[in-house]
Amino acid sequence: MCTGPCTGRRRLPRRTGTTGPAFSLTRPVRVLLEEAMLMGAPSTDKVRNVVLLGHGDAGKTSLAEAMLFMAGQTKRLGSVAEGHSNLDYEAEEVKRKITLNLALA
């Protein structure tokens, strides 16, 4: 059943009679996890953390770009050298053509 634009994700029922954000830091973790599962978030057995570690100019960002592209998470393969990397978003990074900050994807 789709109550809004059908995007393949389940929607949480709208809260009525309350104000403030739907998620807050004071809510129990159990409740937050249940709501995340209702929204279609992956279970913890499917979550993988990956760290790319290496010297400067070793190709970490290029590898991350290729991984995101091959996994279907981005529509184009970004390039640091050409200044259109998906992970380099600050003006200084684009100008200098290097990654300066940590990026989570």
d(C-alpha 91, C-alpha 82), whole Å = 14
Q: How many CB atoms lie within 10 A of CB 59?
A: 13
Q: Say what the pLDDT of residue 11 is.
A: 53
Report, as an integer, the average pLDDT of 19-32.
58
Instruction: Give the pLDDT band (50/70/90) at residue 23.
Output: very low
Q: Is the pLDDT of residue 51 over 80?
A: yes
Report, as an integer, the average pLDDT of 34-52.
74
Q: How many CB atoms lie within 10 A of CB 96?
A: 13
pLDDT digits (tens, 9 = 90+) for 63-86: 888 988 888 888 988 888 888 888
Q: Is the pLDDT of residue 99 over 80?
A: yes
